[in-house]
Amino acid sequence: MKAFMKIRTNTKDVSDLNNLSIFEECGYELAKRKSEGSLRTLSSYASRDSRTISSEDGVLVNFSSNDYLGLSAHPKIAEAWRNGLKLWGSGSGASALVTGRLKAHAELEEELCDWLGYEKAILFNSGFAANQAVIKTFCKSGRSIVMDRLAHASLQEAAHLSGAKLLRFHHNDADSCHRCLEKAEGPLMTVTEGVFSMDGDEAPVEKIISAAQKNNSAFFLDDAHGIGVHGKSGCGTCDKQGIQPNAPHILMGTFGKALGTMGAFVASSACNIEYMVNFAREYVYSTHMPPAAACATLEAVRLARSSEGDDLRQNLRDNVACFRNGLASIGLEPSGSTTSIQPVIIGDSEGAVTISSELRKMGFLAGAIRPPTVPAGTARLRITVTAAHSKDDIDGIVNALSHLTAKKRD
Ligand X SMILES: *Cc1c(COP(=O)(O)O)cnc(C)c1O
Nearer to ligand X, 105 or 225 (CB): 225
Instruction: Give CA–CA dist 157/161, Å, rounded.
Output: 6
Q: Which is nearer to ligand X, 256 or 334 (CB)?
A: 256
Choices 3-11, 110-118, 127-135, 137-145 (CB under 6 A): range interacting with ligand X: 127-135
Binding mask 87-126 for ligand X (x = CB under 6 A): ---------------------------------------x
Question: Of 11, 35, 197, 338, which lies in the binding site for ligand X, with binding defined by CB under 6 A?
Answer: 197
The span from the CA of 382 to the CA of 62, in Å, is 11
Q: Residue 233 Cβ, how far from ligand X at the closest point, in Å?
A: 21
> Is residue 297 a contact residue for ligand X (CB under 6 A)?
no
- The footprint of ligand X on residues 221-280 (CB under 6 A) is 222, 224-225, 254, 256, 264
Q: Which helix (H) or strand (E) holds 54?
A: strand 52-55
Residue 139: CA count within 13 A, CB half-sphere: 33
199 binds ligand X (CB under 6 A): no
Contacts of 41 (CB under 8 A, 6+ apart): none
- Residue 343 · residue 337 · CB < 8 Å: yes
Instruction: Provide, rounded to whole angstroms, the least separation between the CB of residue 180 and ligand X.
Output: 20
Among 24, 148, 193, 202, binds ligand X (CB under 6 A): 193
Contact present, 352 and 404 (Cβ < 8 Å):
no
Phi, psi of 334 (to 5 degrees): -65, 150
Q: What is the DSSP string of 61-127?
A: EE-S---TTSGGG-HHHHHHHHHHHHHH-S---SBIIIII--HHHHHHHHHHHHHHT-SEEEEES-H
Size of the site for ligand X (CB under 6 A): 14
Task: Please choose, out of 6-14, 46-54, 90-98, 218-226, the segment that lies near ligand X by the rule CB under 6 A.
Answer: 218-226
Question: If binding is defined by CB under 6 A, does position 283 make contact with ligand X?
Answer: no
* Binding status of residue 152 toward ligand X by CB under 6 A: yes
Regarding 131 and contact with ligand X (CB under 6 A), the answer is yes
- The CA distance from 370 to 384, in Å, is 16
127 sits near ligand X (criterion: CB under 6 A) = yes
Integer Cα distance of 346 and 353 in angstroms:
9
Residues that bind ligand X (CB under 6 A): 126-128, 131, 152, 154, 193, 197, 222, 224-225, 254, 256, 264
